[in-house]
């Protein structure tokens, strides 16, 4: 396989709560004023990313995986996940509050939906004044107390609100109730799964005037009812090195702020590497091919690459791989 920085066509999703920041801030080519998500790297059936550059232009991510297997993914990644790409990469713009939701763990998702669970993380790229997230409960809650508040339409009284700013990072474990608040633009890294249990939606109606489906009963056995301050990620910001953010069984994410020329060794990494640019721009070179990566763009470096050269003046990148 030719190892070069592979870029993909963003898959843009209109959402009831979406806005215009994916266009205004990240220069995505959209006209809709309710675009909520840009799926940057996806092998979800029906939404498979297509290559936009180089030798593999026009091929989709699933074709590349099926053809090159461990050369693309990394041998140990292919042994573990087979031909299923293990993560999904997005940028999200919330003009309105998202619904309050949670995701089941792997065992429950496999039993009910024949799917992986969904562990995810968020990196805040921009936040309006006063913008916040919902992450977890503000106290330990019993199942009975939870259902009582749900029936009384007072669930928000139990929830933990976190004000956010650029650079804040959150790790969302399965079972944790959560919601992205209005005015937040973020990068999301998650397990490949579209299994979401929506538990409260502020009584909003969709474009057809209908209330959106809630998953009240399914959620009851999936919720973590305890108060845990285990979601805010603390990380260093040393320049020209990989600063550990989130390392978990499903993905590793490091923060990289590049000033000048960084020659980054990948020879000991048996995994593909993804770079998301969250600020500034950079030139990324491997296999003799150089690609520009600007804010709001994502690229994939195949596992076969021994090193990558990054040239930038203060670009901020998220580096994602499987440990």
Phi/psi of residue 16, nearest 5 degrees: -55, -35
Per the annotation, the verdict on 198 as an active-site residue is yes
Alpha carbon of residue 238 to chain centroid: 23
Distance between CA 60 and CA 79 in Å, rounded?
Answer: 21
Token pair recorded at residue 101: 């939701």
Asked whether 253 and 318 are in contact (CB, 8 A), the reply is yes
Nearest to 65 by CA among 162, 192, 202: 192
CA 26 – CA 293 distance, rounded (Å) = 12
CA distance 283 to 93: 26
- φ/ψ region of 240 (left if φ > 0, alpha if ψ in -120 to 50, else beta) reads left
Instruction: Point out the catalytic residue in the list 95, 173, 198, 269.
Output: 198
Residues belonging to the active site: 198
């Amino acid at each position: 396989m030719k190892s070069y920085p592979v870029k993909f066509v963003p898959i843009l999703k209109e959402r009831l709560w979406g806005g215009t920041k994916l266009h205004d801030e990240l220069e995505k080519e959209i006209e809709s004023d309710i675009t909520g998500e840009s799926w940057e790297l996806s092998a979800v059936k029906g939404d498979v990313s297509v290559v936009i550059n180089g030798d593999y232009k026009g091929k989709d991510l699933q074709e590349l995986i099926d053809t090159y297997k461990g050369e693309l993914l990394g041998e140990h990644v292919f042994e573990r996940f087979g031909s299923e790409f293990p993560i999904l990469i997005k940028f999200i713009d919330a003009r309105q509050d998202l619904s309050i939701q949670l995701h089941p763990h792997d065992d429950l998702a496999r039993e009910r939906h024949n799917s992986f669970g969904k562990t995810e993380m968020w990196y805040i790229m921009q936040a309006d004044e006063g913008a916040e997230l919902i992450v977890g409960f503000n106290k330990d809650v019993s199942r009975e107390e939870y259902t009582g508040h749900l029936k009384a339409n007072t669930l928000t009284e139990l929830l933990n609100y976190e004000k956010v700013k650029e650079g804040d990072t959150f790790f969302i474990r399965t079972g944790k109730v959560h919601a992205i608040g209005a005015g937040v633009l973020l990068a999301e890294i998650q397990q490949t799964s579209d299994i979401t249990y929506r538990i409260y939606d502020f009584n909003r109606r969709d474009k057809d005037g209908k209330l959106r489906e809630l998953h009240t009963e399914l959620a009851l056995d999936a919720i973590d009812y305890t108060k845990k301050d285990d979601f805010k990620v603390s990380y260093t910001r040393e320049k020209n090195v990989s600063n550990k953010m989130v390392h978990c069984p499903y993905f590793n994410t490091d923060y990289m702020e590049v000033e000048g020329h960084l020659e980054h060794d990948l020879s000991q990494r048996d995994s593909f590497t993804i770079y998301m640019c969250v600020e500034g721009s950079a030139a990324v070179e491997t296999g003799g091919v150089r690609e520009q990566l600007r804010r709001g763009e994502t690229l994939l470096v195949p596992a076969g690459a021994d090193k990558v050269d990054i040239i930038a003046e203060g670009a901020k990148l998220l580096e994602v791989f499987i440990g």
